Amino acid sequence: MGDKLKRKVRGGTALVKALEAHGVRTIFGIPGVHTLDAYDALYDSDAITTILPRHEQGAGYMADGWYRATGRPGVALIVTGPGVTNVVTAAGEAFADSSRVLFVATNLERKYLDTLEGNLHEITDQMGVMRPVTKWARRVMSAAEIPGAVAEAFAQLHTGRPRPVYLEIPIDVMAEEVEIGDLPVGEAAPAAPDPAQIAEAADLIAAANRVFILAGGGCVSEEVGPLLRELAHELGAPVCTSLMGKGSIPEDDDYAVGAFGYRWSPDSPIAPLMTGSDLTIAIGTGLGVRTTAEGTMPLPTPLIHIDIDAHEIGRRYPTAVGIVADAALTLRALLDTVRAGKRPKSRWSPEEVRQVREANFRPADARAEAYAAYLHALRQAAPRNAIVTCDMTMMCYEAVRYFPVYEPRTFTFPRGFGTLGSSLPTALGAKLARPDRPVVSLNGDGGFQFTMQELGAAAHHRIPVAIVIFNDSTHTAVKVAQRRAYPGRYIDVDLINPDYVKLAGAYGIEAVRAESPAALGEAVAAALRRDHPVLIDVPITLERY
C-alpha cells in the first residue's frame, strides 16, 4: 500500500485492524473506561463480533473454548488491573492445557506504569501478573508498535507448544494517533522432524514384536487424528489415550481402547497391552506425573517420544528416540517408512484389542456403575459429533473412562490447572466457534457457582447450549477425600444451593429437572433440538459417607 493510501487512526483502531488482518472474528470481553478506544473501533468493525461475558474469568474461558473447539486462537480483551487479575485463572488453565489464546489488556498511561500514584486500577507490575501463565508477553509503548506486536503475538501462538500469549497496551497508546498501511501478519511454519530420527524410529519399529501407542492432547486435531488411526492400523498397535487425548481416535475403532481414566491405576484393563508390547510410541503427551502416576505406568521400552515441546522429552521415562516436531508431519513421515516395509514382527489382533476396550468401558464396581448409567444416557442422547465440556466434578472424572468420544475436539476438560467453574463459559465459547455442532456443558453444583453468572451471557446472546448440573449439594470430591483421610471429620464441603431451575428462569432460560438417567437422556435430547440455552438440574446421591 503506497504512502498516499495510508491513513491516520487511533491506537485502538490499529489494534482492531491488526486483529482483523489475522482472521479474528470474535472477541470476548467486558468494556471498561480503559478500553473505550478499542471498543469504539469494534463498533465500526464489520468483521468482528463482540461477546459480553459477565466476568473476565468467563471471557478467558470462552476464548479457551473457542480454541479447543476449532484449533483457531481465541481472543479476550481485558481491562486494566482487576480485569487482568480476574482473567489470570482462565489464562492459567489455557497455559496448563496448551490452548492458543491471545489476551489483550490495557494498562495505565505510560507515565504512570508500575507506580503507585493513586490511580484507578493501578498495580505495581501488571506484566508480572501475566508472565507466569503465558508463553510470551509484550508491552507496547507507542501506537506505531501495535500492528507489529499483534503479528508477533500470532507468530508466537503458532510456534512450538500451543500456549496463551499476552499483549499489553497503555490507555494513552490506545488513544495515540498513528498512520497505518499494509498490516503485517504473523505466521509460523510447523516444525518438521529430523529425517535421521525418523529412520531411527523406523528401525525400532521394525525390531519390535508388538507396538503400543499412547496418544495425548497433541493428537486431538482433525489433521493428526486420522494419521494416528492410520498408523495404528498399519502397525496393529492399540491406541490408549490420556485424558487430554480423548477424541484423537474414535473410541469404537478396532484399535482404540479408550482412556485409562482420570488417573492411572495398576489394575487398569489396559495394562496387559503395555506389558505385552515391547515398544511404545508416545505422541503429543508430556508423560507428566499426573498422567503416568509419577512414572509408575508400565510403558514398554524402548520409547519413541514425539512432542512439540523439547522440555518434555526424557524427563520421566528413558527415551530411545525423542522427536521434537509437529505431530502431523512426524506421523506422515513414519507412515511412509512403515508402508515401505518397516513393520513390527507381530500385531495385536482387533479381537484382542476389542476385549480390552470392552473391559475398560465396563464399570469397575457398583459405584462406577451408578455414574456410568448417567454417562451412558448422555452418550445416547448426544450425537457423535457433539462437543462435551467438563468441569472438575465427579461425573466428569468418571467420564474420562466411561464416556466414549468419537471425534477430535469434542471433549474438553480443565486437566492441567484443575479449575472449578470452567465448563459453562468454555461451552459458550465452543458453541459460538462451532454453531454447527451440539454442545453439552457438564457441571457439578459446587463448581457451577464459580461462574453461574455466565447464564446471563448465554441468555443475552441466545447461545443454544445444554447446561447439565449434577446436584448433590456437596463439594463431593473434597468430601470423599476427607472421608478417606479423616473419616467422619467433614468441614466446609456441604452446600446450600439455589434452586437452579428457578435461577435459570430468572434469566428467561428454559429449565427442567431430571431425576434419573433416562430422564437426563430425554432432557438432553430435547435441549439439543432447541435454538436457545436449556438448563437441566440433575439431583444425585451417588456417594456414601
Q: Return the CATH class of domain 3-180.
A: alpha beta
Q: What is the grid cell recorded at 242?
A: 490420556
Superfamily of domain 364-539: Thiamin diphosphate (ThDP)-binding fold, Pyr/PP domains (3.40.50.970)
Q: What string of DSSP letters covers 78-122?
A: E-TTHHHHHHHHHHHHHHHTT--EEEEEEES-GGGTT--SS-TT-
Opening angle at CA 438, ends 435 and 440, nearest 5: 120
Integer distance in angstroms from the first to the last C-alpha of the chain? 71
Contacts of 473 (CB under 8 A, 6+ apart): 445, 494, 495, 496, 497
User: Three-state SS for 465?
Assistant: coil
Determine the Cα–Cα distance for residues 454 and 507; give it in Å rounded to an integer: 10
Q: Facing residues of 74 across strands?
A: 101
- Please tell me the predicted confidence (pLDDT) of residue 6: 83
Write the DSSP symbol of residue 474.
B
Residue-range domain boundaries for the chain = 3-180, 195-356, 364-539
Determine the Cα–Cα distance for residues 168 and 81; give it in Å rounded to an integer: 11
**Alpha helices, DSSP H only, in 214-326?**
224-235, 271-275
Tell me: the pLDDT tens digits for 65-74?
Answer: 999 999 999 9
* pTM, two decimal places: 0.97
- Please tell me the predicted confidence (pLDDT) of residue 4: 52
Residue corresponding to grid cell 496387559: 272
- Please tell me the predicted confidence (pLDDT) of residue 1: 42
Judge whether 3-180 and 364-539 match in fold: yes
Residue among 531, 488, 491 at smallest CA distance from 510? 531
Residue corresponding to grid cell 521415562: 317
Which value, in Å, is the radius of gyration of the alpha carbons in the chain? 24
Q: What is the grid cell recorded at 284?
A: 503429543
Residue among 180, 94, 179 at smallest CA distance from 136? 94
CA-CA-CA-CA dihedral for 257, 261, 205, 317, to nearest 10: -170
- Please tell me the predicted confidence (pLDDT) of residue 483: 95
Superfamily of domain 195-356: TPP-binding domain (3.40.50.1220)
Q: What is the grid cell recorded at 3?
A: 504512502
How far is residue 452 from each of residues 57, 373, 433, 504, 535, measured CA to CA in Å?
12, 26, 21, 10, 11
- Please tell me the predicted confidence (pLDDT) of residue 449: 98
Determine the Cα–Cα distance for residues 31 and 104; give it in Å rounded to an integer: 12
Residue corresponding to grid cell 457438564: 442
Tens place of pLDDT per residue across the chain (545 aa): 445 578 899 999 999 999 999 999 999 999 999 999 999 999 999 999 999 999 999 999 999 999 999 999 999 999 999 999 999 999 999 999 999 999 999 999 999 999 999 999 999 999 999 999 999 999 999 999 999 999 999 999 999 999 999 999 999 999 999 999 999 999 999 999 999 999 999 999 999 999 999 999 999 999 999 999 999 999 999 999 999 999 999 999 999 999 999 999 999 999 999 999 999 999 999 999 999 999 999 999 999 999 999 999 999 899 999 999 999 999 999 999 999 999 999 999 999 999 999 999 999 999 999 999 999 999 999 999 999 999 999 999 999 999 999 999 999 999 999 999 999 999 999 999 999 999 999 999 999 999 999 999 999 999 999 999 999 999 999 999 999 999 999 999 999 999 999 999 999 999 999 999 999 999 999 999 999 999 999 999 999 99
